[in-house]
Structure 1
Amino acid sequence: MEDHVERVVKTKVKKGVTKAFKIFFAIIAAIVFVFLFGYLIMWLWNWLMPDIFGLTKITYWQAVGILALAKILFGSFGGHHSKSKSKSRRKWKAGDCRGARNDFSEWKYYDSYWKEEGENAYREYVERKKREEQ
């Protein structure tokens, strides 16, 4: 019984340490993201905008502010999908595609059909349209 309790405690401690490490890593990654992208935005702005549009150069913190403003105005920078998109993807993966054609066994006849009947049908269609226009 003590072995079982010891294993349960070790497992819970291990999971707790893993979660703490993930949270710590996420915080560090967010800080690095802000510093790198803030510097990148500042560098790009100061390289392009004064010459192209005659704007003034910006500081690092102004670049971070622009990054935050872009995040607020335009939403996520990737990785997140809307609920409707993910729902439609799940349906597609589940095979619930009522309108999709999944039978490609007859596809091999497509080229020969177009050569034999399709070209003639198209010519007839074009002639009919020309007559309607006159």
Structure 2
Amino acid sequence: MLDFSNKRAEMKASSLDEAADLLRKVAGERKADESLKSVFRRLSRKLDGWTDNRIQDVWRRDSRITVRADEITQLRALVEPKRKTESIDDLEELRATVARLARYEALLERLDEEFYGPQISAASDQLGEARRLLGKSRSRL
């Protein structure tokens, strides 16, 4: 019987930790001049059916509460679109880097290929690596 209660307590703690982590991701970055109360207010507008006290209890990982499965599902649903947007933003940033490196390499070649040989070689290596990463990221999306 003791084993069962320990496992239940561990599961309760892990679901509370997951919910708190997801809640922080939903909240996003906190501005320097933003109070925690403002963050909670912002979260209450995003979370249907959550009271202010519930948000604060999950945020603070209050061990007296139990997180329901529907709450974790709601938090996961709010976090998932952000992950997709972040990967698309990363892909766009990588594409911009590839374009910059290609322009840099062409500029160095026009200026003085002999003098800038090592830089051109390094830029070519970076450009090849960036293109390889870009090819991998396309296959994942």
- For Structure 1 versus Structure 2, the TM-score category normalised by the shorter chain is 0.3 to 0.5
TM (norm. structure 1) is: 0.34
Relative contact order, CA 8 A, sep 6+: which one is greater? Answer: 2
TM (norm. structure 2) is: 0.32
Structure possessing the higher radius of gyration over alpha carbons: 1
